[in-house]
Structure 1
């Protein structure tokens, strides 16, 4: 039999897939996350990340809470849940908010996968491409990413050492007609500063008079080391019907739980629930139930008091080490709470350049420039004091001082 005929064909040209959305290529990654990856090397003392101290986690209490979540109803713990969140956890969040001076009911609360998701939901609900969003300058880096990913035009509000300047805010609102103002008014990330009560009242009044949504992010408010609590922005007259308050269990329980919450006016809250349904249906049921059991069985305020004591000691260790080590023309603040100290190097210094030398000396920090919406100050840097012991912090600042000396020697050559 003759051999079977064979045929060959030239493969058809392969068309590339369509391009990414413009927003996916226009927003840069977080330098904080990149620095955290860099500093995982053994021997690095990282003053970079805003990480809670793992040795202060209530490991046994949380283990018991998870066991309770399964023993009471494993079927419920492993099942789908409502988008708004487990009723008992919403009740606990509402009770804690009310105890802090903001009357809140369970129906006012939505449980989210960290407060970062709450910010994402509010952004999805309120912000369209081209809308103006106002922020403090500098501000939380992930918020800048969130707003830019939504296509917003981010405008900075003038600030001083205490935060937003109310008169400047009114001028910017009148000129820019923004959709919302995003603020971290208590122990701000990255600066550690706190907006005084009188300014909060003025911000609320401006929002009411000129028509503005307020997004108040409060992950650090319970970590106060001195002074008196300042009422939430959401509690001031004029802010009641226009403030989305974002809270988190990451800094007072454990960040690995990825549990946050949103308190918002009814219409905004309902829209955020729809956005959450599209995003993830609901937050992890088992984590919510474990958190609810934990809050019912453990005195969280007593745990927070112990954390405050440890963090205050670490903050003071950082302040003392900076005073002994850095030059007189360096500046830094003394935060009354939170996790961060904001510092500024002398004229003509660049914190990003210093970081390269610092890592070689075995210490890391976060340069401040990425936190600015506009006009970044390259001399600024953020130092976190919560992750390490006072002795480690003292050693880290000593390494930072040596790095600064080497950096300055190189500049003078």
Structure 2
């Protein structure tokens, strides 16, 4: 029966997180597992007004087929936002995608043949492993430190292997929450310059900084060698499934062909509604509300961990984003801990799912954005009991 299917399907598995989320549908379970924005900040009434305006003013066009590249005013808006961060980007260098996840899929289609080598962080974003994995590459994992990818290890990997892509989440990394320092970005750019390799800078969380200083995107250090991914999921709504990929013209031409073959174009109605919402509302004010809430939730989780977890347990202290990373003592399995935690009615993501080449058995990812402070305190207390019972 398996002979019916493509060989690639045997090496790519279901999303570990999606499977875990099925377990957490029970409302009695406090879940730190999903990478979910807090729905309290979805601008429901404002989006309703934007949708009504779009249908009233250009309903026929909004419900018709559209160009693959995306709604021109939305692409212009994104280019303007980049300009505000000091990056000169043309709207023609921006392709609207069905979530930034599609950007990974399109990059895989454009760059990867079976057996090609892709460098990823250790640990890395689980869905990137899954998305690139469809094209049957060989993953090379480079250690991730508190300030970013190990530049020396990256240099060695590039010297020893013919690499097609380097993939990184440089701001508030998923899963660890760490951010690449400015000096680390410069080091990595120095390693990559003059090498025929592209860096995919996956950056859905950059606007969610609630402490510390903003750092320029990798494109500011690396120029056209950097391919940028962005998303409206964390700022407006994940339900729209709208993101974008930004790349130089030569790459963009290939990406457009790949997208035409995939879905013709992302929802033009959703694009027009999001653009109308952005035009009619103060997005920076909206972002500040999200930042303030996530800062409180992050601080609550950090304080609860330090109160409830054993001293031997380590954790990151993110300056933004939605996640923090926990490292248990060697020999303590987070997968086994998950079973105990569910009995305590609390859930997380065991860390080994984020390692492309194995490892991470004693790590786990916690999401702080989708729970209020009261549930965070109670959930971390439950998780602390499970950890203490294992370690004793």
* TM-score w.r.t. length of structure 1: 0.93
Whether 1:32 aligns to 2:23 is: no
Whether 1:45 aligns to 2:30 is: yes
Whether 1:170 aligns to 2:170 is: no
Displacement of 1:18 after TM fit?
4.8
> Contact 2:176 / 2:323 at 8 angstroms: preserved in 1?
yes
Out of 283, 286, 304, the residue aligned to residue 287 of structure 2 is 304
Whether 1:343 aligns to 2:330 is: no
Task: Give 1:257's aligned residue.
Answer: 240
Distance in 2 between residues matched to 1:107 and 1:68, nearest whole Å = 27
Task: Give 1:268's aligned residue.
Answer: 251
Whether 1:71 aligns to 2:47 is: no
After superposition, what is the alpha-carbon deviation per residue over 1:291-335, rounded to whole angstroms, capped at 9, x for unaligned?
110111111111001000000000000001001101111110100
Displacement of 1:205 after TM fit?
2.2
Out of 109, 113, 117, the residue aligned to residue 94 of structure 2 is 109
Whether 1:376 aligns to 2:359 is: yes
Task: Give 2:65's aligned residue.
Answer: 80
Structure 1: gaps (5+ residues) = 1-15
After superposition, what is the alpha-carbon deviation per residue over 1:175-209, rounded to whole angstroms, capped at 9, x for unaligned?
01100100001100000011111111221222222
Distance in 2 between residues matched to 1:214 and 1:309, nearest whole Å = 31
> Contact 1:174 / 1:210 at 8 angstroms: preserved in 2?
no
> Contact 2:310 / 2:388 at 8 angstroms: preserved in 1?
no
Task: Give 1:96's aligned residue.
Answer: 81
SS at match of 2:119: strand
Distance in 1 between residues matched to 2:188 and 2:113, nearest whole Å = 23
> Contact 2:123 / 2:143 at 8 angstroms: preserved in 1?
no
Distance in 2 between residues matched to 1:350 and 1:344, nearest whole Å = 10
Task: Give 1:248's aligned residue.
Answer: 231
RMSD: 1.2
Match runs of 1:150-161 below 5 Å: 150-161=135-146
Task: Give 1:208's aligned residue.
Answer: 193
Distance in 2 between residues matched to 1:17 and 1:370, nearest whole Å = 25
Out of 217, 220, 231, the residue aligned to residue 232 of structure 1 is 217
> Contact 1:276 / 1:282 at 8 angstroms: preserved in 2?
yes
SS at match of 2:22: helix
> Contact 2:97 / 2:243 at 8 angstroms: preserved in 1?
yes
After superposition, what is the alpha-carbon deviation per residue over 1:378-401, rounded to whole angstroms, capped at 9, x for unaligned?
110000000010011001011111
After superposition, what is the alpha-carbon deviation per residue over 1:115-158, rounded to whole angstroms, capped at 9, x for unaligned?
00011111100111111000000000010111221011010113
Distance in 1 between residues matched to 2:144 and 2:30, nearest whole Å = 31
SS at match of 2:227: strand
> Contact 1:147 / 1:154 at 8 angstroms: preserved in 2?
no
